[in-house]
Amino acid sequence: MYILEINQLRKFLFELFLAIITAAIRKSPFDAFKTFNELNPSISDRHQWRQRYPTSFEFHSSSKLSPLFTILLFSSKMPSLAVKLYSIFFKFQQRYTLHNLTQIPVHAVDPFGITSRREESTAASNPSFYEGVATKDIHIDPFSSLCIRIFLPATVVNFDPTTIIEDKSKDGAFIYSGYSPQARTKHKRLPVVLQFHGGAFVGGSNDSVRNDAFCRRIANLCDVIVVAVGYRLAPESRYPAAFDDGLKVLNWLAKEANLAECGKWMGNGNRNGRRRADAHVFDGFGASMAEPWLAAHGDPSRCVLLGVSSGANIADYVARKAVEAGKLLDPVKVVAQVLMYPFFIGSSPTASEIKLANSYFYDKSMCMQTWKLFLPEEKFGLDHPAANPLIPGREPPLKFMPPTLTVVAEQDWMRDRAIAYSEELRRANIDAPLLEYKDAVHEFATLDVLLQTPQAQACAEDIAIWVKKYISLRGHEFSY
C-alpha cells in the first residue's frame, strides 16, 4: 500500500516537473544552426543544403523567449540549463524503469508481447484530420501484438459529402466517424514512410504522444503517408522479435498493395468484360481485404524507411533484408532510409563513447542495460549484428544499400559510430550525407519536451528536403 502511494507520488512529481520544464523549453532560444561532417565540405549551412537538394519547401520557424525562464534557459552554450535539469530527472525515471524490467525472469518469454508500457503517455487515433493528418490503428498480426498507426495527410482528400462517413446519433445529428476513399475514383497517391520509434528496444510506442506528434510533422512536411510500427518490446520479447516485426510490416505492405491491385480487377464488376460474379472471390478474403487508405493513396514503389534511435537499427536491418529480397517484395521498393541518431555500439569504444559516456538523457551505462535486456544471454555481445553495423561479413555488401541520410547530435555518445557507418556507405559510393546538429542531445528532435524547439523543427525540415529527392514523381536514382 505504501509502495503504491510512493509510486503515485513519484509519478505526480515527475509529471509536474515535466510540465514546468516543457513550458520553458518550448520557448527556449535553441540554436538551430547545424554543422556538417568534414567529409561533406560542399555542405556547410542550410542555404547550401537546399541548393544541393532543391525543393519547393520553405522554412518557417519562429521562437519567443519567455521572460519567466530567461535566466533558466539562457546559456552561451547549449544544451540549456532547463534541458540539463530535465535530463537528470529523466535519467532517474529511466533507471527506475530499467530496474523493474531487470526483475522480469529471463525465461518469461511472451510470444504475443507488448508494444507499449503502462507509464507511456499515448495519443488516441484521430480520423478527423487533426493538424492536417488523420490517423488509424491496425493490429496486423493475430499471433502477436504487432500493430501499426497510419498517418494520412489531408492533401489526399477532396472534401465532399461522398468522402466522409457519417453516422446518425440517437438525437438525429450527424457524427463524423472517419474518411473513406471512394471506389472507382482516381486518387492522389503518396509515398509511404515506414517509421520505427525509439526507446532502446524496451520502451516507447508507435502511438505515444511524442511519436504521434513527430509522425504528424513528417507526414505534413514530406507530404507522405507515414506507417508507424508498433513492434514488440524487450525483455518480454527479445531479439529478434523487434527486427522480425519490422520486416513483417514491410511484407504486409507488399501484400496490401497486391490485394489492392486484385481489387481493381476483381471487385469492379464488368471492367474489361469480367463478370460481376467474380467479385465474391475478392470479397471472400474478409479481414485480408486491402486497407482502404493505403489501397487508394499509397504508392509502395516509393517507400522510405525512417528509424529513431533503436528504431534506426531496425530500419537498417529492414533495408538490408529488402535488398536481399529484391523483386520478391514487388511492388514495394525501398528508395531511401533515414537513420536518426542510431543506437549503434561495438566492443571497441569510439572517442565519443569515452568522452560522452555520461551524456544527457541516455548515458552509456543505461544503454548497456537495455542491450542486456534486448539480446538473449547466450547471444549477448557488443559486436552482435543488431548492435554493430560494421562487423566484417555482414550481408549484403554496403554497395547495394539504399541512399542513407544519417542524423547525429554533437552531445550524443553514439555519434562517432553512426558517423563511421555513414563514412563506409560513402566509400561504397552510396549517397549517404550526414547531418550533425551543433550542441544537440540524443533524441533532440523526437523527445517529448524537445519536439517544439526550433532545432527539432529544423531537423524535420532538413529530412523533408532530402527525402523529397527520392520520392519525387520524376523517379529516383536508386535501384537494386
How is 277-305 classified by DSSP, letter by letter?
A: GGHHHHHTTGGGSPPHHHHHHEEEEEEEE
Report the alpha-carbon distance of residue 474 to residue 480 in Å, rounded: 18
pLDDT (mean) for 401-411: 96
Report, as residue numbers or ranges, the catalytic residues: 309, 412, 442
What pLDDT sits at residue 87?
79
What pLDDT sits at residue 176?
63
149's grid cell: 498507426
CB atoms within 10 A of CB 214: 27
CB atoms within 10 A of CB 111: 11
85's grid cell: 535539469
CB atoms within 10 A of CB 163: 14
445's grid cell: 528532435
What pLDDT sits at residue 394?
84
Using the predicted structure, report yes or no on whether residue 109 has a pLDDT greater than 80. Answer: no
Q: For the residues of 311-364, what is the DSSP string, one character each?
A: HHHHHHHHHHHHHHHGGGGTT--EEEEEEES-----SS--HHHHHTTT-SSS-H
Q: How confident is the model at residue 276 (pLDDT cuts 50, 70, 90)?
A: very low
What pLDDT sits at residue 268?
52
Question: In this predicted model, what pLDDT tens digit does every residue of 292-303 receive, in sequence order?
Answer: 999 999 999 999
Residue with cell 496486423: 140
Residue 215's nearest CA partner among 41, 94, 338, 345 is 338
What pLDDT sits at residue 28?
43
What pLDDT sits at residue 187?
81
pLDDT (mean) for 221-247: 97
Q: Which residue has the higher pLDDT, 174 or 337?
A: 337
Looking at the chain, the whole-number percentage of residues with pLDDT higher than 70 is: 71
381's grid cell: 555481445
Using the predicted structure, report yes or no on whether residue 274 has a pLDDT greater than 50. Answer: no
Residues contacting residue 264 through CB under 8 Å, at least 6 positions apart = 271
| Ranges assigned E (strand) in 10-98 | 34-36
Q: Which residue has the higher pLDDT, 356 or 418?
A: 418
Give the highest mean pLDDT range of 20-29, 72-81, 378-387.
378-387
Using the predicted structure, report yes or no on whether residue 74 has a pLDDT greater than 50. Answer: no
112-431+441-471: which CATH number, 3.40.50.300, 3.40.50.1820, 3.40.30.10, 2.60.40.1930? 3.40.50.1820
Using the predicted structure, report yes or no on whether residue 63 has a pLDDT greater than 80. Answer: no
Using the predicted structure, report yes or no on whether residue 316 has a pLDDT greater than 90. Answer: yes
Amino acid sitting at position 268 = N
396's grid cell: 549484403
Question: In this predicted model, what pLDDT tens digit does every residue of 155-207 receive, in sequence order?
Answer: 998 654 445 555 555 566 555 667 888 765 678 899 999 999 999 999 999 99
CB 224 within 8 A of CB 471: yes
Question: In this predicted model, what pLDDT tens digit does every residue of 22-57 receive, in sequence order?
Answer: 555 444 434 333 333 434 434 445 555 555 554 433
Q: How confident is the model at residue 477 (pLDDT cuts 50, 70, 90)?
A: very low
Q: Where are the domains of the chain?
A: 112-431+441-471
217's grid cell: 510533422
| Lowest mean per-residue pLDDT among 96-110, 265-279, 393-407, 409-423 | 265-279
CB 421 within 8 A of CB 432: no
Q: Which residue has the higher pLDDT, 457 or 13?
A: 457
What pLDDT sits at residue 15?
60
- Full-model pTM: 0.81
Using the predicted structure, report yes or no on whether residue 418 has a pLDDT greater than 70. Answer: yes
| Lowest mean per-residue pLDDT among 14-28, 96-110, 251-265 | 14-28
